[in-house]
Amino acid sequence: MPIYEYRCSDCGFQKEFIQKMSDAPLTTCPECGKETLGKMLSAAGFQLKGDGWYQTDFKGGSKPKEEAKPAGGCGGGCACH
């Protein structure tokens, strides 16, 4: 379940709450009891960096390009060339 951060615009109370995505946003401040509690916009808790499965399988959907093989059937690594 996601963690949402809330802040009361009246008293400044701030706290994180674990809620289902389908739950209605909280509005009543547990500190002062007023209907001034609002959901805050927070940064994601993780970031995918570098190359690897994320780059090749999800980010753009493209796989790394394979090296071109020379013409000749066997790849050029034998005595037939």
**pLDDT at 47 (0 to 100):** 67
CATH label, 1-43, candidates 2.130.10.10, 3.40.800.20, 1.10.10.60, 2.20.28.10: 2.20.28.10
What confidence score (pLDDT) does residue 38 get? 95
Q: Tell me which residues of the chain have a pLDDT lower than 70.
A: 44-81
At 66 the pLDDT is 60
Q: What is the pLDDT of residue 73?
A: 58
Angle, CA of 46, 51 and 52, to the nearest 5°? 90
Handedness of CA 54, 60, 62, 67 (dihedral sign): negative
- Compute the Cα dihedral for 29, 35, 36, 41 and give only its sign: positive
- Return the ∠ at Cα 23 (arms to 31 and 41), rounded to 5°: 65
pLDDT of residue 23: 94
The structure's pTM equals 0.52
Q: Residue 1: its pLDDT value, please?
A: 80
